[in-house]
Amino acid sequence: MPTVSSWYSPRLETEVSLARWGHWGQPVLLFPTAGGDAEEIERMHLVGALSPLLDAGRIKLYSCDSVAGRALARKDGSPEHRCWLLKQFGEYVAHEAVPAIRADCGGEALEIVTAGASIGAFNAVSVLCRYPHLFRGAIGLSGTYELARLLGFGGNEDYHLTAPIRFLAGMPEGQALDTLRRRFVLLAHGRGRWEEPSQSWNMANALGSRGIPNRVEEWGEEHDHDWATWREMLPRQLDELL
């Protein structure tokens, strides 16, 4: 069973939860899929798949509610409101979830690894690119990195500021981009049902065009856009990044 903390987020204007598994090791923030809560990854047996890394003390695993993803899945509010939530979700991660993780790790200014599947992959890559000083790398599994179709329109300024596939091209030279060039992004996808390999390749091209180290790992046609695939992928990807 995880240890769960909850509080009211002024940035998201709702109650949020942060769950933790393990007691020591590299902190990993694993985002849920679109409508998932902080404990989704346990119900879908992803925590169990990571148990060798947890039991060996190599990772300390965290997950938070997918507030913006839930709004996308349910089509809550206007498209503009959903874009605002995407932007605010990153602010919540940087200014609320990360400090909570660091406090739980003894107050150390540790760099966190982010990971996620589908919309979770979008969040994992987005927060790394927006706040590279807080994170050391990202893993995106079967990622959906362009959300215009889910939003129902082409996006606005809030979305542009949130989606790395949009904002990286115009990211100015400077400290943030220099830091990002010292990070690593691992993108994996299958070629089975419901997968969109072009999403990962387009994201990789956006990263590579700015000199940000990354690699796409393509799995076979037997690997669908589904939890069975991600349970197999993620332990291998994390083992590489640790």
Give the model's confidence band at 143: pLDDT under 50 very low, under 70 low, under 90 confident, else very high: very high
Asked whether the predicted pLDDT for residue 1 surpasses 90, the reply is no
Distance, in Å, from the CA atom of 142 to the CA atom of 25, rounded to the nearest integer, reads 26
Which residues lie below 8 Å from residue 51, measured CB to CB, with a gap of 6+? none
Please give the share of the chain, as a percent, with pLDDT higher than 90: 93
- pLDDT the model gives residue 131: 98
Give the model's confidence band at 110: pLDDT under 50 very low, under 70 low, under 90 confident, else very high: confident
Asked whether the predicted pLDDT for residue 162 surpasses 90, the reply is yes
pLDDT in tens, 171-224: 999 999 999 999 999 999 999 999 999 999 999 999 999 999 999 999 999 999
- pLDDT the model gives residue 109: 77
pLDDT in tens, 5-17: 999 999 999 999 9
- pLDDT the model gives residue 20: 98
More confidently predicted of 179 and 1 = 179
Asked whether the predicted pLDDT for residue 152 surpasses 90, the reply is no
pLDDT in tens, 75-94: 999 999 999 999 999 999 99
DSSP string, 91-139: HHIIIIIHHHHHHHTTS--PPEEEEEETHHHHHHHHHHHH-TTTEEEEE
Distance, in Å, from the CA atom of 242 to the CA atom of 239, rounded to the nearest integer, reads 6
Cβ atoms of 210 and 178 within 8 Å: the answer is no
- pLDDT the model gives residue 241: 87
